[in-house]
Amino acid sequence: MNHTEIQARLQKKYHLKKEISLGAHRADLLWPEKRLVIEIQISPITKEEVKDRTLCFASYGYDTLWLLHPRRYNQKFLKPEEGALRFASSYFILPTAADVHVFDQSEQFRGRLRTYRSPPLLLDLNLLEKKHGTLRCPGDRHDEPIKKPSLLSKVDRFLTRYLESRFSKTLK
């Protein structure tokens, strides 16, 4: 499924406006009621372009949600721009013959190597809201440690090992 088909499916599913110019950039989809621009990212993009587009849309009062296609993103090795996209508000998309599903996942990395990927956490963008200055959807990777204490303890163990290894030389 190509960019245009994904755009059309999401537009229909969430009743969005298609391809709106905002300043120097054209938003893939616009959700006026949520003051949200949705950018579908299939091809490579620079970190600078991610920042530029996000700031441009913000200057018009819109948050930006990046939807990342697994054809390029969510691979074994993190793409250079993927770190910037995942740090921004972003989820993954899974296009199927019948629909375009939006999902998130918990992840762990060793450098650029993705060492852990949770099962997909399917999301309903109708429930998307802004919390603490960030776009969040119930059931996304930010909610998972709260809902699953075992995952939180795994994160705690990981952080503890990391901090111990990082500061063990300093403490001796």
Q: pLDDT at residue 89 above 60?
A: yes
Neighbour count for residue 11 (Cβ, 10 Å): 18
pLDDT tens track for 91-132: 999 998 889 999 999 888 899 999 998 889 999 999 998 887
* pTM of the complete model: 0.80
- The SS3 of residue 69 is coil
First vs last C-alpha separation in the chain: 56
pLDDT reported for residue 157: 62
| Rounded mean pLDDT, 140-155 | 60
By three-state DSSP, how is residue 125 classified?
helix
Question: What is the average per-residue pLDDT within 18-29?
Answer: 89
pLDDT per position as a tens digit, 52-67: 999 999 999 999 999 9
Instruction: State the amino acid at position 83 in one-letter form.
Output: G
pLDDT at 35 over 80: yes
